[in-house]
Structures are given as C-alpha cells and as structure tokens.
Structure 1
C-alpha cells in the first residue's frame, strides 16, 4: 500500500488503529505525544490532527488543548479558512468546525469504502476538495453540507487511459468499474497562484486551472509515489516522495528537474525557508535544506519520522510519530551550515 506517510499507515495497522467508527474520540493526556499527521496555522494559532481522531489546538505553539471530536478514525489532514476548519481521514471521514468556539461535527463518513482520505483543501468558506486512496475525490460548494464524489481519468498514466478507452467502446459499466479500480492514490494538493497541483502514486504530478474539475498530468522521470507538493514564493514548485526523491519545477517549458537529496528516507513534508530555500523532512528524522544548488542534510538524534511542518518565529513546529516537536532556530541555522 502506498498511502500518504507509508510508515504511518504501517504503524497504525500494527497497533490496530486503521479502522474505527463514528464514536466520540476520548481526551487522552498524552495526545500531544501520539502519532500526529498534519499541522496548519489557523486564525489564532495552530491545529494538529492524528490517530484516534485526535485534534489539538494551540495559540502559542507551546500549550496544547485536545478538542472533543465525534470520531475515532485516524485523521490525515486539515484545512482552515477564516476560523472554519475541515479535517479528513480514514473511513473517508470528514469533520468540520464552523468556528474556533464551535463543536466538531461529522459531514461525511463512509467506512465501507475502505478508502482513507489523505488531504483536504478549501479555496474559501464554501468551496473545498478532499482527496485520497484509489483516486478518491470529493467536492463541496456549500461548506461541506454536501459532498459530491468525482472520478478523474485524466490523472491516470497514459497507458491506462488507452486501455480504458478501448474498454469504454464496448462496455460503459465495466469502464466505470475499471476506472475506480486503477486510479492512483491522491496524496497531496496545493494551490499556487490559482493553479491547483497534485502529487500521488506511481509518479503522479498534475495541475488544474479550474480547482480540480479538469486535470493535466505532468511528465516527470520518476514512477514512485509522491507524498508532498508545495509552491514557493519565488514561483518554484517542489515535489517530494519515496526514498528521498525530490523534484523542482522552475519553468514549465523545461519540466521537472531532479534534486539529489542525499538521503533514501521518504520525504513527507516541505516547508519554505528564506531567500527561496526550503526544507524537506521525513522518515527516520532526516531533514534536508536546499538553497540554490546547495543541499545539506541532517539526521535528528531521536530518528523520529516527521510527518508535517510549519514555520514559527523560533524555527519549525512539526508533527511526528511521537507527537508535536519544535525545532529551534539554532537547529535550523546549523542545518544549512554543516553537512554529514
């Protein structure tokens, strides 16, 4: 299986947390030290999500409060707009909080699908999408009161497209069944200057100019899974995935170019640094700093897998297999000054 954060899926399965139901999550004293998979800057602070339906909120990145959530399903990703929040995860669950003072509520839940949702992105308070395993793609135009499932054959490898077109000429029903079965896992989306970019399984990188209603698959010399895609302020697009694979798009006419990350651990998250630099973080506690043509790496002593990251005044705030962690500015600066 090649879901987002492969290590985390394996860990969840081994602990028996993969499947859950729409029961209330319980307040766990050690929730901030549990497996957490995503973190975002919110209107007033930060929000992190993870296993057992855990959602934690902080106003200062230091003091965290776990919020009651009506699910035990592992939550993979979160998106916030103007104080409103949506989190998605296993059992195709989507939970929503209409304000920072409101309670979380379930908007969508389909455990029978056995297709975890892996990312969510809202354009505004009304329009949003959720994506996940086996081509799962849901759209809302009313803030999540209703979610519509979509299938996007444009995300398939060209060879699969030809195969499906032949089938469709003979049997539309069989075509639909095959389309659902061979769509790749959709791991991550990011909106950059009104263009939506997607990263996924089997070398999938794609872009959309209409918020995901139509897609154009992008050529890249790599057939493994991408777990992260991110636009930088300088206009560059960065994609990262399995075994330290890292690619950069500076000019669409020239296409994607490979960056030698110097590591073989999977990269799960990207965060922008100063002056066009960026950091790639992932499994086994590896962090890579890329500044121009210079690439430096560091291995954190604890070796804990980093799953998501945001920048804060004193460095980085990250989620990991062992919960929340702050990487200080000293660690951040030292990373770009030394190699291993």
Structure 2
C-alpha cells in the first residue's frame, strides 16, 4: 500500500511538472529561418534610410550586407590587418553609419556602408566600445562596456563625455529611445541607471536572489528585467523603483531568457537558449511558444525590430530569424 501511495505521489509530481513546463503553441510562426555561411555569433543589425539596405555585425569581424530587406545576405571583408576584432553594435542615420567593437574599434561610413574608415580612439578610453546609436548627421552617442558615455557632433573627430564616473564592467547595457541607459553588472548582482543631465550612474539592488541577465526599457518607458531561471519582471512607467509580480513565460525550464523586445505596445517577444522563442499578445499577461524554431541549433541572443513589420532574431553559428508579417485575411 505504501509503495502504491509513493507511486501515485511521484506520478502526480511528474504530471504537475509537465503541466508547469507546457505553454500553448503559436498557431503559425512568423519567423523565417536563415543560416548564413559563418560560425560567428551575431550582435546587432541596422538599416539605412533605405529599408532594403542593411548591415549585420558579429564576432570574428563578421559583417554582412543585404540589399533586399534581409532575405539574402552577402559577407563583406574589411581590411583590419591581423587584428582579431569582435563587432558589438551598428547604427545608421540615413546613409551615415557607425560600427563599434572590441578591442576598441570604431568605424564610420558616409555612403551607406560602401566604404568604412577607422576613427582612432584614445588609449585612455575607459573600457571598449559596447554600443553606438546614430542620432543625426555627424551626431552619434557611444557607450563603453564600463559605462562611459560619449557624444560626437562632428562625425567622430571629437567626443564629449556625458558621465563622470564609470559603472564598472557591465554584462549588458541598453539605451532607451529618449537617451536613458540601464546596465547590468558583470555578475548580475545589481543594475544601474543613467539619465541625460546626470553626472553619475545610479546603482540599484537586484530584484531577488536570482542573478540578473538583462534589463531594458519598454514601450511606455517602464523597465523590464530578465533573471536566471526564465524569470521576467516589469515596473510601471510612472514608478521605475517598484517591480510588479514575477512572470515566468515558461514556468519550468532549464534554459535562460537572453533578450526581450516589443513589436507593438502589446506584443512582446522573448528569446533564450536552445532556440527558445515566446510571444505575448497582451503585454505579458499570457504567453505562447513558437515551436517552429525550437529545433534551431542556436541560442537566440538578440531581438531587433526596425519597425512593426521588420524584425530579426540574432543567433550563433550564422543563425538569423527574419520576421514576416502574417498576411491579412481576405
């Protein structure tokens, strides 16, 4: 009798765990799976003012160009000598483009990427360039992996420091549309925020015992945070210091969440290890899993939406997902 009870308990626990890990499947996937001829991990993607013409960057000096909106890509090789470079970000304003990476490389283009020139960086630069955003003609903002923020208004000839103190080695740094930054420490123990006009970063304790993976900004200015074990939390737009209840898009999971992005104010996509991709159509209240991409042999590191109809998910070993908007019913 005791063995029977134990069997029933084990069976119930197994059923409970299975039910926890199951999440509804997306009826049809809007993502096209592309595999480019490289073993690099992609880091960022950007388009010129011509949304058919874009650039993709990654590790091992990887640089790809598309002229058809992202359906096909051609690899480009830059003459960087014997230097081993890992590109981390690319950004365009009209035809003017910028690329940054490690160790301390900054590239600039004024012709849509047909040619790239290298801009020398000071040896005293705190850290290596991590991100860059093209803001206007000859105007861009660059952040290093230590949280030093600089702005140029003359095409990269001179740079003005926007913050006095660095934040320390960061795991991730995200910039909002209105110029705010949020950085997660290398070990995920805390996160820091910076607003334009401030001279220092403001540190914040992590939300729970789980280490932070990434923190970013939502469509309405709220913060979102990804933590170990597939945990997701949001703040309200009006109170960035108070976090709402924890959300687990897939409750029982061994893989982690690596990035989040909004396709619209209500539609949120999260990506993670082992080809995992989930979506919420109600601002995070409920979730569906895109099982059509689950077999992709890659972690999914970045989600980028150029606009609501053009998006990409960046993976490793040449894996790239392209968003194809569902056709409208007749």
- TM-score, normalized by length of structure 1? 0.66
Distance 1:151 1:264 in 2: 38
Instruction: Name the structure 1 match of 2:304.
Output: 310
**Structure 1 residues 15-54: Cα deviation after superposition (integer angstroms, max 9, x where no partner):** xxxxxxxxxxxxxxx6556321212343223321012212
**Structure 1 residues 236-284: Cα deviation after superposition (integer angstroms, max 9, x where no partner):** 3323354433221223166223322324433333221345221011221
Equivalent of 1:53 in 36, 53, 61: 61
Distance 2:93 2:276 in 1: 31
Instruction: Name the structure 2 match of 1:247.
Output: 233
Instruction: Name the structure 1 match of 2:288.
Output: 296
Change (3 A) 1:47 1:286: same
1:91 CA drift (Å): 0.7
Equivalent of 1:221 in 186, 196, 207: 207
Instruction: Name the structure 2 match of 1:98.
Output: 110
Map 1:54-203 → 2, pairs under 5 A:
54-59=62-67, 60-71=69-80, 72-108=84-120, 115-124=127-136, 125-132=138-145, 135-141=146-152, 142-147=154-159, 153=165, 155=167, 183-185=168-170, 187-192=172-177, 194-201=178-185, 202-203=188-189
Instruction: Name the structure 1 match of 2:46.
Output: 40
Aligned CA RMSD, in angstroms, stands at: 3.6
Distance 1:214 1:295 in 2: 37
Which secondary structure state, in structure 1, belongs to the residue aligned with residue 239 of structure 2? Answer: coil
Distance 1:307 1:317 in 2: 11
Question: Do the aligned residues in 1 keep the contact of 2:272 with 2:300 (CA within 8 Å)?
Answer: yes
Distance 2:198 2:319 in 1: 32
**Structure 1 residues 95-115: Cα deviation after superposition (integer angstroms, max 9, x where no partner):** 221230541122245799995
Structure showing greater radius of gyration is 2
Instruction: Name the structure 2 match of 1:237.
Output: 223
**Structure 1 residues 52-106: Cα deviation after superposition (integer angstroms, max 9, x where no partner):** 2122121321122333434340111222222222222221222221230541122
Equivalenced residues, count: 273
Higher share in helix: 1
Question: Do the aligned residues in 2 keep the contact of 1:131 with 1:186 (CA within 8 Å)?
Answer: no
- TM-score, normalized by length of structure 2? 0.68
Question: Do the aligned residues in 2 keep the contact of 1:91 with 1:112 (CA within 8 Å)?
Answer: no
Change (3 A) 1:236 1:116: same
Change (3 A) 1:230 1:35: same
Distance 1:287 1:196 in 2: 27
Change (3 A) 1:144 1:200: farther
Instruction: Name the structure 1 match of 2:21.
Output: none
Structure 1: unaligned runs, 5 residues or longer = 1-29, 156-182, 332-340
Equivalent of 1:256 in 243, 247, 251: 243
Instruction: Name the structure 1 match of 2:8.
Output: none
Instruction: Name the structure 2 match of 1:3.
Output: none
Distance 2:127 2:49 in 1: 30
RCO comparison, higher one (Cα < 8 Å, 6+): 2
